[in-house]
Amino acid sequence: MKNFLLVPLMAVAWLCACRQEPLPQDPPLVPIDYTVLPPITQTGANTFGCLVNGEVWVPRVKLGVPWYSLAASLHEEDGKGSGIISSRLLTSTVDDFFSMAFAANYFHSVTYQTSLDTNNLLWFNPDFRHNHENYGHVDGDTSNYMKIIAIDTTKNIISGIFQCTLFNDNKTKTLRITEGRFDLLYYSE
């Protein structure tokens, strides 16, 4: 009976020893440094980041949390349309949510501002939930902008930069968003 079990075990050992190629493995996880902003890229790296009152803010969620940490959707036709970018920072102490809606007649090399330009219908509407308070923009503040620096409708990539000053609901607190950047794969609507 022992010899009967020994033969299959030896066959498995011999097959493993003869294997020329290593077994496929998942690529190693690259640790993310949440203390630095991602570089400004145009490759679909799926990055997003900004400074919030001078501190680095990049999206992340804890493992096992069902909510998304980063998403972009875009309705585009012949360079015209609208889009939304959403990101979330969720840790044991922080639950922030940042979204930006934008639209224009033409996407390429366009700067979107929070004031409505009736000639080109350009607008940028950032909203931020930070420390359990809602923050939004003030109409007419032309220092708030988002600029799309690259869009590839074949590979579904959108990249850009942004900055804005946001106010809480009763306008007693501000958040200054600077050095914002994104390089995202987007979902077509």
What percentage of the chain exceeds 90 in pLDDT? 20
Q: What is the pLDDT of residue 105?
A: 60
Amino acid at 29: L
Strands of 53-122 (E only): list them: 55-57, 70-77, 80-90, 95-104, 111-113
pLDDT of 144 strictly over 70: yes
Dump pLDDT digits (tens) for 72-116: 888 877 767 788 888 888 877 888 899 988 876 666 555 655 554
pTM: 0.74
Q: What is the pLDDT of residue 62?
A: 61
pLDDT of 34 strictly over 90: no
Nearest CA-CA partner of 162 in 141, 176, 146: 146
Count other C-beta atoms under 10 Å from residue 3's C-beta.
6
Structural domain spans, the chain: 38-188
Residue 106 near residue 112, CB atoms below 8 Å = no
- DSSP assigned state of 32: P
Nearest CA-CA partner of 117 in 126, 105, 100: 105
Residue 179 near residue 47, CB atoms below 8 Å = no
Q: What is the pLDDT of residue 150?
A: 83
pLDDT of 148 strictly over 70: yes
Looking at every residue in the chain, the average pLDDT score rounds to: 75
Q: What is the pLDDT of residue 134?
A: 93
Residue with more model confidence, 64 or 55: 55
What percentage of the chain exceeds 70 in pLDDT? 66
d(CA 187, CA 189): 6
